[in-house]
Copies of this chain bind each other. A is one copy, B any other.
Amino acid sequence: MEAIERKPRSREQTRSGIVLTAKDIARREGWQAVSIRKIADAIEYSAPIVYEYFDSKDVLLDEIRSEGFRHLRQEYERILKLYRDPEKRLYEISLIQWEFARRQPEIYQVMYNLDGAYCTLPVYQSCEMQAVSDIVSDIIFSFIPKSKESIRKLYFEWWSISHGMIMLTMLLKDQQPIEQSEQVYRDTIRRFVRGLR
């Protein structure tokens, strides 16, 4: 029916092969080097095949981005199960964020259109991003049950500190040892969390 001799792969395998290859090229050569033809070569198909799985390169990038947010969400929820103390929760979730950006920088890049990664589909209003935002907002709320506006503001602050430090660390990665950056990150987050009491 469908089994070709080249290399029998299910539709799902091919699809995830595309995603995997895109991420692989991005990791090794940067997002600006990721092209449909290069992906097709790697999965041993011609370029138009990719379009049977993704309507456009934009949609492919969006998929990878969503995948990133879903992964982050899972990790967040793992932390929620592990700890009950809001202070501990927020601190550990911040470390998860750091680890994620450090271990999979190419995913972090495509999530926020950094360093040549460019996906035109808007990040905000994506339910995957909303989900991770909500988790953090909820933790902050359980901390200090203030008005929605206050929570929003504090979440805004938390995200800015975390994301800002991650970005600067990426920028200086050849200049400043990562351990040092991580120490500053931990200290600053800890101070922020303390400050919420």
Interface residues of A in 52-80 (CB under 8 A from B): none
Interface status of A15 (Cβ within 8 A of chain B): no
> Within the complex, which residue of B153, B159, B165, B171 is in contact with A124, where a contact is CB–CB below 8 Å?
B171
Chain A stretch 108-163: residues in CB contact (< 8 A) with chain B: 112-116, 118, 122-125, 153, 156-157, 159-163
Which range holds the interface residue count of chain A? 20 to 34
What's the number of copies of this chain in the assembled complex? 2
- Expressed in whole angstroms, the Cα–Cα distance for A169 and B124 within the complex equals 11
A84 to chain B, nearest CB (A): 28
Chain B, residue nearest A185 (CB):
B160
**Does A113 contact B114, Cβ atoms closer than 8 Å?**
yes
A188 located at the interface, meaning its Cβ lies under 8 Å from any Cβ of chain B in the complex? yes
Chain A, interface SS category: helix
List A residues at the B interface (Cβ < 8 Å).
32, 112-116, 118, 122-125, 153, 156-157, 159-165, 167-168, 171-172, 174-175, 181, 184, 187-188
15 of the cross-chain contacts (CB-CB < 8 Å) are A112-B167, A112-B171, A113-B115, A115-B118, A123-B171, A124-B172, A124-B175, A153-B184, A153-B187, A156-B168, A160-B164, A160-B188, A163-B168, A164-B167, A167-B167
CA distance A165 to B163 in the complex (A): 9
- Other contacts beyond A113-B114, A118-B118, A124-B171: 12, CB < 8 A: A32-B118, A112-B167, A113-B115, A114-B114, A123-B171, A124-B172, A124-B175, A157-B184, A160-B161, A163-B164, A163-B167, A164-B164
- B188/A157 in contact, CB under 8 A: yes
Across the interface, which residues of B come within 8 angstroms of A162, CB to CB?
164
Known: A116-B113, A123-B171. A159 touches B153 (CB 8 A): no
